[in-house]
Amino acid sequence: MTVLERQAVDGSISGDGIPMVGSEVAPGTYRAQDPGELCYRERLSGLSGDFGDLISDGLGTADAAVTISGSDVAFSTDGCGTWARIG
């Protein structure tokens, strides 16, 4: 099994950024371990910046979980800390 560029051996994703699904993070379900009040996350179908690229998003600490699909292009995270893989 190859460890992806942004993903730790335990499956966690740390830090802010926009990792690409498949090459930098694996599809799966993740939960933010210590999200801040301004924890923002997005699942993206493209990187053009157009609203149409947004699959889903969330803000805040309530239900700071996301299921990244293999068909997603990227996952954007800001202010969420480490995401632990839960499924």
Domain count, the chain: 1
CA atoms within 13 A on the CB side of 62: 3
Instruction: Evaluate if pTM is beyond 0.85.
Output: yes
Whether residue 71 has pLDDT greater than 60: yes
Q: How far is CA 15 from CA 10, 32, 41, 68, in A?
A: 15, 11, 12, 17
For residue 76, the enclosing domain spans 1-87
Q: Are 76 and 18 in contact (CB under 8 A)?
A: yes
d(CA 45, CA 60): 22
Please give the average per-residue pLDDT across 24-42, as a whole number.
Answer: 93
